[in-house]
């Protein structure tokens, strides 16, 4: 499914990172932030969904428990989509309209990946909702083997006892790769070294920045 996002004609830049937890998004975002700092283009770092949604009972239920009988996942997906529209248009757009660089940890693609990975493959409403947010300059999809992603999560202090739906992770990885292909995303092999991944990311970012406004 190709999302029908708005054409991005703002003077700033929007770079987003999607992928499994443990795929290396945070590390690459931090490196990209440092890079922009060095070239005197300080970036604004943000994430989706926002903490308001992340702390909600329905979100925490799906993240922390195998029992989801209390909630309908479509309801959570609608909540997250709503949060992304609000956050994008009231937080991200004002900044890129001022010419700033914005880097987001996850974006609307994650909504679609989770929806499809949980079996809602025929839901078309998400495509319509996506028309209210701008298409990023580049959407990076960090791809890593599921077992590696899980081991990274569990090696962290706050991830040792975290509930992980392993089968869902396999479906999510498949969906992220499909969505990247359908929507012009850039897949980065997270199994390679951090340095090699960042070189590829930085190269694509600089290619975009060096283009003229007419070439967006």
pLDDT tens sequence across 30-72? 999 999 999 999 999 999 999 999 999 999 999 999 999 999 9
- The per-residue pLDDT for 156 is 83
Strands of the chain, DSSP E? 13-19, 43-47, 101-105, 138-143, 186-189
Give the 3-state secondary structure of residue 78: helix
Asked if 63 and 121 touch (Cβ cutoff 8 Å), the reply is no
Asked if 109 and 139 touch (Cβ cutoff 8 Å), the reply is yes
> Which residues touch 70 (CB under 8 Å, ≥6 apart)?
61
- The per-residue pLDDT for 1 is 83
Mean pLDDT in order along the chain per 10 residues (216 residues): 91 97 97 97 97 95 91 96 97 97 98 96 95 97 96 83 92 98 97 96 94 54
- Pairing mode, if any, of strands 138-143 and 186-189? parallel
Domains of the chain: residue spans and CATH: 13-215 (3.40.50.300)
- The per-residue pLDDT for 38 is 96
Distance between CA atoms of residues 168 and 144, nearest Å:
14
- The per-residue pLDDT for 212 is 45
- The per-residue pLDDT for 213 is 46
Distance between CA atoms of residues 154 and 162, nearest Å:
7
> Which residues touch 163 (CB under 8 Å, ≥6 apart)?
63, 64, 65, 66
Distance between CA atoms of residues 164 and 11, nearest Å:
40
H/E element, 64: helix 57-64
């Amino acid at each position: 499914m190709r999302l029908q996002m708005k054409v991005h004609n703002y003077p700033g830049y929007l770079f987003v990172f999607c992928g499994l937890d443990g795929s290396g998004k945070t590390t690459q975002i931090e490196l990209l932030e440092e890079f922009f700092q060095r070239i005197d283009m300080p970036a604004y770092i943000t994430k989706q969904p926002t903490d308001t949604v992340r702390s909600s009972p329905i979100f925490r239920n799906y993240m922390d428990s195998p029992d989801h009988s209390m909630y309908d996942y479509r309801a959570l997906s609608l909540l997250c989509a709503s949060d992304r529209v609000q956050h994008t248009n009231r937080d991200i757009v004002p900044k890129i309209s001022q010419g700033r660089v914005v880097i987001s940890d996850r974006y609307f693609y994650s909504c679609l990946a989770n929806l499809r990975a949980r079996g809602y493959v025929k839901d078309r409403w998400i495509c319509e909702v996506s028309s209210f947010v701008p298409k990023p300059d580049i959407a990076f999809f960090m791809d890593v083997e599921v077992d590696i992603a899980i081991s990274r999560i569990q090696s962290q202090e706050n991830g040792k006892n975290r509930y992980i739906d392993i089968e869902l992770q396999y479906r999510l990885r498949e969906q992220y790769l499909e969505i990247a292909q359908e929507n012009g995303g850039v897949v980065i092999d997270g199994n390679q070294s951090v340095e090699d991944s960042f070189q590829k990311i930085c190269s694509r970012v600089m290619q975009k920045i060096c283009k003229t406004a007419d070439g967006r």
